[in-house]
Every structure is written in structure tokens, then in C-alpha cells.
Structure 1
Amino acid sequence: MSRTLLTGLRLPGRPGPVAIETEAGRVTWTGGAEEVRERSAARVEELDGVLLTSPFVDAHVHATASGLLLDGLDLTRCASAAEVLAAVAEAAGAAPPSAVVWGHGWEEDRWSGPLPTRAELDRAAVGRAVYLSRIDVHSALVSTALVDRAPDAVGSAGWSPAGPLSADAHHHVRRAALAALDPAQRRSAQRAFLDHAAARGVAEVHECAGPEVSGRADLADLLGSGHGVHVVGYWGEAVDTPQAAHTLRGETGAHGLAGDLFVDGSLGSRTAALHTPYLDAPDCTGNRYLDPDALAAHLTACTRAGIQAGFHVIGEAAVEDAVAALEEAARRTSPGAVRAARHRLEHLEMVDAGQAARLAALGAVASVQPLFDAAWGGPDGMYAARLGPDRARGMNPFRALAGAGVALAFGSDSPVTPLDPWAAVRAATAHRTPSSSVDEGTALAAHTAGGRYAAGGSGTPVPVTGGPASYALWDGTQCLRTVREGRILHGTGGGPEE
């Protein structure tokens, strides 16, 4: 197979041009401009000033929901109930009667008026089933026709006869909405999302699936897509024995039993578990979906099975439960076994310095989303509205986590925030609480090597000699090419890599 030599490249934070040589999907040489003259290759590309990085890893995505949004009902720009209802009416008019009108992204905190009622949604939908997830995907506005497809939602936790559904009621209607997708529609949405990821320099995504998020058929389709973007699947369902852990992983094809295994919900929907009430809901401290015994049992079973485990945790009470469960699992097994498993905590937004040190001691990975701070941080953001400015300042403390030695893996939680890795890097370096920001090198590492580490691998923020020929080429933040193990996923370059 022929060798390819790319010259004139820049590396992040380093002076002077560099070159990289690849062959058979591996990096065979890297060096400076002076050494290039000594190399010969079948194909040479002069890339004057183009930036070279490892491809990005998005450590937390929901592929089908993200793909549906790419050409679907995007409500993120709606500023009122009237705009949401108009968008639904237009979409319903174009949809087959049996289809679910699927939308995402409404955020009432940015509105001046009330949410639409179910009756108003029914009128706009002219009898069609409608599922509209809030920006955090922890609650949804739904039509009566969708509730009719999910009768268990009625009267369950989080039920409302007229307003948005959260908690168990939301999980029931979401499952019904997903069940209405035919396989071709689902696979098309997944492929569209993976193409979108590759076009943004992302060559690996971690799908956070589960019975309350997507479903086994959805995960199976994604893992079997054959797309060049590598999919690491996580399945969020608790077990209590090593045999159950092995069985469940085998049945789902998941890499680990982690991801969106919910300990609590979200701050936006007021379902994140807090020690003290929400500022704007004084009688509410959020939801706990798993008790401490179940958390410890799951971590212990997975540790003994040699399987990565983990949870979705956001609120301070949920974080403490998860940290204590990791410590209990270490007592039941051993600290070394827990460290070796690299158990993951998704989001980990309300974590203090003491908890960070405890997590570092047990080798936990923090799978975090910098664009959460960009969207909802600051003195006037959603965090401050829910918690008050003092409590909100402690949200998403990336610098404290990194300083304590906790491994960071950056992601988007797409479709909650956009899959845009350079925007995430900027958000981490320009945190709305400056003392929580990290430098660009740390941020870039968290979005590249950190993601691979989170899934049990290793790597560096830039390609190295002897490693896989996996890289991204950039003109500013525009991705020119994404390559994984020699295969071009996005862009062109004088012929396919071998």
C-alpha cells in the first residue's frame, strides 16, 4: 500500500510546520519541515498552514434524536407558545396521519408567556400524535393522541393533565414516540447524524442508550450501521449480579452498562436531585430514580464482571449518592478493581472539591458538556434562576475536576446542545465562572484523548508515530477532512486513504 505524506501542517499550540506520513492506516513518521526532504512517498499533499489534530470524540450523544432534529421540527429558536403551536401546525399538516410529529428544543425560561396547554397542542396537531421534548430532554409537551398510545403515563410520577410531562410519565410517552418510528426512518436519522458528526471532525461518538431513552432496536441499528464514525454504545439499565451484567451487555452489544442510567433528572425540568430546594420552586428538591443500595449493587456487579458502569448525575444530592456508591463498591471489591473499570459519571454538574478528590482516588471519569455552561451559566442564566447566583457559580467546575486528577471527557449530549467540538473547547476555556475554566490544551485533550480514555482506550490530542492514521484537518474551525484509521469519513484528499 502506498505511503502518503502531508506537509506544511500546524499542531495546536506549537510553532513551525510539521509533516505526517501514513501507510496502511497507521502513522509511520512525523517530523519537522527540515526532515521532509529526506522522505519519499507515493502521494504528497502540501497543506500550507492547515491545523492537524486527532479527530474529536463526542462522549455523550443520542444519535436518533439528533438525526431527527437535523431536518425535523427544531424548536430551539421559538420564543413563545404561539411560535411552537405554529410550527406544530405546519409540521402536522405535512405529516401522515399515523406518524408522530417529533420536535425538540423548547425552553420556557427564554419566553415571556406561558407554555401551550395540551388542548392548544391538540388543536394545532389536528388529532395527530405529537412529542416535543424540552431542551434538556427530561420533560416534554405531548398531544392527547400520543398519551393514548402510552396509557401507563396517566397518573404516573410526573403526570400532568394539561402541561408538560416529566419523570416516569415522560419516559412512557417517549417510548411510545420512539416505537412509532419505522426502522427505515430510524436508520436514516442515525446515518444523517453520523455524517453530521464526521463533517465536524468527530470520528467517535458514545451513544447513551437505555430502556427509558431509546430502546434495544435503536441501539442495535446504530451499532450495526457500518458507518465509519466509531460508535461506542452504552446501555443504561441497572443490574445486581455479575452474571446479569454479562447477560445484559451480551444482549445489547453495549460496551458498558453506563451512560443515561438515571440517578436524577435535570435542573431545567427541576428533576435534578438537590439537598435544598430550588430557588424558583421552594417545595421541590427534584427526583431520585435509583436509591443508594441499587447504585452500589450495580457498581459492584459490574466491577466484578469487569464491565464499565456509570450513571447520569446532575444535582448535588445525586452526585453524593453516586460518589458514596463508588466507595461502597470499592469496599465490596477493591479500590484497584474499581479504578481499573473507569466507571463514568455523566454531566456531574454540581460536584465539590471534596467529591472531586474522592472520584479521582477511584479512577472515575467525568463525562461533561462545556456547552451547558455556555447555554445556562452566568448570573442571568437558567442555573441562577433555578439555584440562585451563589449556588450556580459552582456548576460545572472543570478546572477543579482536572486539578484533582479526575479524567475529563467532553461531549455535547446532542441534541441537548449542538455537536460542535470547537465551540465546546471555547466554552471550557471561557467558562462563565472564570475559576472553573481550563486552558485550550486541557480542553482539546478532553475532547480527543479524554473521550477515548473514557471508553477504555488511549491516545493523544495529535497523531503520533506508530499510532492509527486518525486525524482531522482544519481551516480555522472548518473541518477539511476527518480520517479514522486511514478511512476518510469527511472531505477529500487526492484519493482515499488506504
Structure 2
Amino acid sequence: MQDSNLNLNLKKDTVLPPKTRRLSRARWLFGSFVGLLLFSCVPLRTGRGEYTVCSHSDSIYTVDETRPRAQCITVLEGRITAIGDEADIRRHWLRNSHIFDLTGADVRFIKPNHIIVPGLADAHAHVLQQGYKMQLQLDGAQSVQEVVDRIKAYIIAHPDVHANTSRWIEGMGWDQTKWGEAFPTAADLSSDPLLHGRPIVLLRVDVHAAWVSERVLELMDPLPPDSKVEGGSIIRDASGKPTGIFVDNAMTLIPRPPWSPEQYVDFFDTAVAEALRYGLTSIHDAATDPDAVAFFKGVAAAGKLPIRLYLMAVPFSENFTDWEPSRVERLTNYGVHGRLNLRSVKLFTDGALGSWGAALISPYTDKPDTRGIMRNSPDIMGQLMRSTWKAEMQVNVHCIGDRANEVVLDIFEDIMANEALQGRPEISAFRPRIEHSQILQPADLERIGRLGVIASVQPTHATSDMWYAETRLGSERIKGAYAYRTLLEASWSKILPLGSDFPVEGVNPMLGFYAAVSRLSVDGRSPHGGGGWFPAEKLTRAQALKGMTLDAAYASFMENDLGSLTVGKRADFVVLDRNIMEVEPAEILQTKVAATVIDGKVAYGTLGGKSWW
């Protein structure tokens, strides 16, 4: 037993030579083995619920610049209490357990090829819409006929829908760039007798356009006579007849039935289960309407929120100029587990590139009759942003096109000048965000960083759009698009939160990590070859991991509690089955999550059985 207490005699900061440490470790392990034999019938005496997770090498990536890698972390009551190598953790246990040996210590070793990273965050996603999309997925459909076939299969698989031709059918994910550039039509949804006469609404992959059936057009009659709707567009044929495509604000004309309480629960459960399976511990919900806020509050109050949510409230008044952001209820660590927060507002400036809705300064290269859509005028955007700022809510604005980004940066710059905040670190108290920051002029790429406006980006948008983006924008304008490395280097705070925008893209954060570091499609291709699309804009793996952890935490005011594996922070971490920081890029996509841990408790997978030191 004398040797088993060897570490009790080591001073806290003692560093032994490698050979001495090996001998000490061997003696210590022998003593621990003897202690195990002698005390195997003695119950655990700490009574603290503390446990340690170790790797067989320094395979814990902390995203803490003071100690980037570690061998072990210890958790108590949902927080990290110690981090270091085995010797550090043994000393921690002996100092705090009030026992004379470590035979009762709860220690788990991950597999040799596994790693641990901080809990992964998605800085821009749509939780309930992910569940909604899972009803009828249209992603990847290569033709209009394939969409029709998927709807037929859905009807046949749901007898209640099959028997009721008045039942609304809703789906999401179609993308006309997969089969050409022309939008589909309502008539296409009547081409099969099983679909004819049914109300069908299908959201485009970017959720900025909707394709409806002829029956829905009948229900909408009469429509506004002009194709232009304030902030949107009704697509019409040469004779002026609506084709069945509604873009951006025109989508609000569609009389879609409201979700039932059962649908809210189903959509939520479906999305959250998928998120946890992929290692997500935090999600920034990037457009939460009042009904959704009420739903999330109910879930959190009942102690049934297994993941952290940071909500961005959207305006709830039909007349935006009458909307008061001061009426938005703040939520701070709300609910039984304190996982629900709301302190931001989401505003929309323009549409999306794929549906020619992104607001551009010059006309589209492939459609010179349009410059896209400003969903709100610069004056209304100024009113909304200033009133949100005055209400001391974080201002998060959707901007895709260079015109939209320019307008919003002009407003932010004016606000900061009036508040005497321009160019000063004090802007970190407000943390304004531009969601997507997708297409910017060279001067605005510099300006967004100088002003301290956070660029919240989605790497998979680049690899999804790269096949048609240059066709839309031309060879010069494309150089300021999806410029993630440039945005990060321009940021004085070196913050670049990464998200997916699911359900627009996949939930799996490894898709975003892979896209950020490779700029390639999942099959290893790009318009510029195997080296990646505009490879100078690749992020390093360390930058990408930080963007999905600590930067996302900063963007939601949670960097003191989340985002890195640091003593005192919440014990949110993920065990991955391979080292994404070292494997070949293509292998990143094969990564599986062995365990997702939130507040120190396993929310998905397993940490394995207890081991003995």
C-alpha cells in the first residue's frame, strides 16, 4: 500500500523526467492493483458523482489556447472540474475525494482511435423546419418527374392522405438547378391522376420559393394583379397567368394550414434526435416565431429540452414599422435545465441566390432583367435595426447579395457612429451579426471585420452553390462570395461562427467541417478540381473546429460557459470515432459520434463502462 500512495507525496507542480515518470507510473499501477484487490468490496466513498474521461494519448481537443490538447477531463455536477494528463487528474481526485487510494474513482477510457472535442454548435439552423422537412423530402430529385414520383410514394404510404383528397400535402427540398434553370409549374403537379386536384405546396431547398399545385392556385384566387409583391414575386407565364411559383414575401399569400400541437412535438422530437446523433449540443434557431417560442418555453419548463437552443425572434407584426422589439420576451437560461435563451432578433433583407432573390448591386449575369429582391426597403431595415438595438437585443440580419450586405453594413456603421462605438472593442457588448454574409464587395469584406460585425456563415452553402454561383454572378463578382478565410482574417476579434442552415443543408456538422477545410463536394469534386473551389478561402481544421464551438458560443454570448473544454465551463463534449483533425479529408465524412454529452450527462451513445486506474 505504500507505493499506492506515491502521488500523495508529489508537489502540485512537480514535473518528473520521462524515465522517472515511467517507473513511478509502473509502481503506482501496481499499488493501485493491490488496492483494488484489498478494497474491491468497499463502496465508493466520494459520494460526489464525479467522473473522469481519458484518452490513451492527448486526444482531447479543448479549443482552449492555454492548453489546446489534453489526456483527461473530470466532470462534476455538469461542469468540468479538472483537465490535464493522468497525473494531474489523479492529484485532483486525491485532493478532493477524501480517500486514501483511487480504487473508487470513476474513470472511463475512450477507444485508442477516438477523440473528444467540445460540444458542437450549429450557429444558424431551423429546428422545427427540419422535422417538417422529414415528412416529404425532395432533396436530390433530379427531375420534375422524380418529385412527382416521391409525392405519389408518400400518398400511397399514408392511407389517411390517400383517402382524403382535400388533405394538404407539404414537402421541401426541390432545386430546379438539378434539372435545368427553369422553374417548375403547377401543371406539373397535376400530371399524374393520383396528384390531380390535391392541395400541394413544396418549398424550394432554400425556403425562399414555393411551388404549389393548381388546386392551391384555385384557393388563392384572386391573386394581386401585379407579379410584384412587396418584397416578393409571383412568377407568371407569357400570358400573365400564375405558374405556381411564389418567391420570398409572396409565399405568405399561400393559405397553408397551421401546425397542430402534435406536429410541433413530432417535428421537434425528430429534429433533436437527429441533432444529438450527430454531436450537436447547441443550436441557434435562426427565425423563431411567437408560436415556436411558446412551444420551446413549454418544453424547457417541463424539463424536456435535451439540447441548448439560442432563439432569434422574428417580427410578429404584419406592419413592420409598428413592430416593437422591446415587446420580445427575453429568456436567460430558461427552463428546468437552463438550456433555453432568447436575446436576439432575426431580420430579413433579401432572398436567396438559387431563386434569383439575392439582392445585387448589378443585374444577375444569367438573368440581366433582375437584381434580386429587397424584402424590406433600406428605410424599413434602418427602423427595424435601430429599434432592435435600442431594445438592447442582438441584431441578426439575413443578407445574401452584395446589395443587401452593403445596405445593412451602412446601417450598422451609422448606428455605431451615433453610439460612439465605431471600431471599438465595446461593440462586443452588442455582437451584431450578419447571417450568411454570402456575397460582398471587396470593400465590405474589409468593413464587416473593421466594424466588429460577426459574419455567421454556412460552409456547405459554398459547396452546394458552387456549380451555378459563378453563372449567376460572373467571374469578377464571384471573388467576393463565400469568402470565409477572408472574413475570418478581416475580423478584429477573429470570430467566424459556422452553421448549416438546416434543413436547407444536412444536419451533420461533419458536412460543414469537411466543406470548410476542403471546399469540395462530398464526392471530392469542385468546378476548380480536386484542390477545392477557390482554395485560398479554405479554413484550417483548427479554425473550423473553433467556428463550430467557441466562436458559435461567443456569437450567442455564452463563451464563458460553453465552446471549449476549460475548467469551470459546462461539460458539453462529443466523442468521435476518428481524429478529424488528422485524417484525410474524405474520411471526415465517415465520422460517427460515439457519445454526445450535455451538462455531463450522456444524451446520445455511451461513454463505456467504468475503468480502474
Worse-superposed segment, 56-65 or 460-469? 460-469
CA RMSD of superposed structures (Å): 2.8
Q: Which residue of 2 aligns with 1:364?
A: 453
Deviations 1:170-195 (A, max 9, x none): 2332xx33x34312012211111011
Distance 1:274 1:53, change over 3 A: same
Deviations 1:140-166 (A, max 9, x none): 111133345556865462113124211
TM-superposed deviation, 1:248: 2.9
**Within 5 A, what are the aligned runs for 1:260-279?**
261-279=347-365
1:344 correspondence with 2:458: no
Distance 1:60 1:202, change over 3 A: same
Q: Which residue of 2 aligns with 1:449?
A: 550
Deviations 1:325-376 (A, max 9, x none): 0011113333166542111111011124432332233321111100011111
The TM-score, its normalising length taken from structure 2, stands at: 0.73
Equivalent-residue separation in structure 1 for 2:429 and 2:321 (angstroms):
18
What code does the residue aligned with 1:393 have? K
What code does the residue aligned with 2:567 have? T
What SS does the aligned partner of 2:440 have?
Answer: coil
Answer whether contact 2:345 2:393 (CA < 8 A) is retained: no
Partner residue of 1:159 out of 234, 254, 279: 234
Answer whether contact 1:365 1:454 (CA < 8 A) is retained: yes
Partner residue of 1:18 out of 71, 74, 93: 71
TM-superposed deviation, 1:121: 0.8
Q: Which residue of 2 aligns with 1:417?
A: 505
Distance 1:325 1:120, change over 3 A: same
1:48 correspondence with 2:111: yes
Worse-superposed segment, 394-403 or 310-319? 394-403
Equivalent-residue separation in structure 2 for 1:301 and 1:207 (angstroms):
21
Q: Which residue of 1 aligns with 2:526?
A: none
The TM-score, its normalising length taken from structure 1, stands at: 0.89
Partner residue of 2:253 out of 151, 164, 172: 172
What code does the residue aligned with 1:167 have? D
1:89 correspondence with 2:149: no
What code does the residue aligned with 1:79 have? Q
Q: Which residue of 2 aligns with 1:322?
A: 408
What code does the residue aligned with 2:596 have? T
Deviations 1:239-260 (A, max 9, x none): 9999922213469x9724433x
TM-superposed deviation, 1:37: 4.6
Deviations 1:423-456 (A, max 9, x none): 2112111232111111111111111111111111
Q: Which residue of 1 aligns with 2:607?
A: 493
- Structure 2, unmatched stretches of 5+, are 1-47, 94-101, 236-241, 332-339, 520-532, 579-590
What code does the residue aligned with 1:218 have? A
Answer whether contact 1:314 1:349 (CA < 8 A) is retained: yes
Distance 1:322 1:145, change over 3 A: same
Distance 1:434 1:127, change over 3 A: same
Deviations 1:355-399 (A, max 9, x none): 23322333211111000111112xxx1201211233223311111
**Within 5 A, what are the aligned runs for 1:94-493?**
94=158, 95-96=160-161, 97=164, 98-112=166-180, 115-124=183-192, 125-148=195-218, 154-155=224-225, 157=229, 158-160=233-235, 161-173=242-254, 176-177=255-256, 179-209=257-287, 215-225=289-299, 226-237=304-315, 244-249=324-329, 255-259=342-346, 261-335=347-421, 338-377=427-466, 381-405=467-491, 407-431=495-519, 432-458=533-559, 462-476=564-578, 477-493=591-607
Equivalent-residue separation in structure 1 for 2:85 and 2:372 (angstroms):
55
Distance 1:147 1:7, change over 3 A: same
Distance 1:248 1:7, change over 3 A: closer
What code does the residue aligned with 1:358 have? R
Deviating beyond 6 angstroms after TM superposition, the runs of 4 or more aligned structure 1 residues are 13-17, 238-243
Equivalent-residue separation in structure 2 for 1:78 and 1:280 (angstroms):
23
Distance 1:133 1:435, change over 3 A: same
What SS does the aligned partner of 2:142 have?
Answer: coil
Answer whether contact 1:234 1:254 (CA < 8 A) is retained: no
Equivalent-residue separation in structure 1 for 2:404 and 2:261 (angstroms):
35
Distance 1:170 1:472, change over 3 A: same
TM-superposed deviation, 1:60: 1.2
What SS does the aligned partner of 1:309 have?
Answer: strand
The higher radius of gyration belongs to 2
Equivalent-residue separation in structure 1 for 2:557 and 2:74 (angstroms):
27
Equivalent-residue separation in structure 2 for 1:241 and 1:123 (angstroms):
43
Answer whether contact 2:136 2:171 (CA < 8 A) is retained: yes
Answer whether contact 1:255 1:308 (CA < 8 A) is retained: no
Answer whether contact 2:116 2:576 (CA < 8 A) is retained: yes
Distance 1:205 1:150, change over 3 A: farther
Worse-superposed segment, 219-228 or 273-282? 219-228
Q: Which residue of 2 aligns with 1:62?
A: 126
What code does the residue aligned with 2:345 have? A
TM-superposed deviation, 1:6: 0.8
Equivalent-residue separation in structure 1 for 2:486 and 2:223 (angstroms):
40
Answer whether contact 2:197 2:215 (CA < 8 A) is retained: yes
Answer whether contact 1:313 1:347 (CA < 8 A) is retained: yes
Deviations 1:60-106 (A, max 9, x none): 11122211223x22111211111111212232343533432121111
Answer whether contact 2:74 2:89 (CA < 8 A) is retained: no
Answer whether contact 1:276 1:285 (CA < 8 A) is retained: yes
Equivalent-residue separation in structure 2 for 1:163 and 1:53 (angstroms):
46
Equivalent-residue separation in structure 2 for 1:391 and 1:374 (angstroms):
17
Equivalent-residue separation in structure 1 for 2:222 and 2:314 (angstroms):
21
Distance 1:461 1:306, change over 3 A: closer
What code does the residue aligned with 1:159 have? I
- Structure 1, unmatched stretches of 5+, are none
Answer whether contact 1:349 1:397 (CA < 8 A) is retained: yes
Equivalent-residue separation in structure 1 for 2:391 and 2:292 (angstroms):
25
What SS does the aligned partner of 1:5 have?
Answer: strand
Equivalent-residue separation in structure 1 for 2:178 and 2:414 (angstroms):
41
Distance 1:401 1:247, change over 3 A: same
Distance 1:329 1:26, change over 3 A: same
TM-superposed deviation, 1:237: 2.2
Deviations 1:31-65 (A, max 9, x none): 11444454446421121332111111111111222
What code does the residue aligned with 2:600 have? G
Answer whether contact 2:321 2:380 (CA < 8 A) is retained: no
Equivalent-residue separation in structure 2 for 1:269 and 1:143 (angstroms):
19
Answer whether contact 1:444 1:461 (CA < 8 A) is retained: no
Answer whether contact 1:209 1:219 (CA < 8 A) is retained: no
Number of aligned residue pairs: give it.
484
Q: Which residue of 1 aligns with 2:51?
A: 4
What SS does the aligned partner of 1:407 have?
Answer: coil
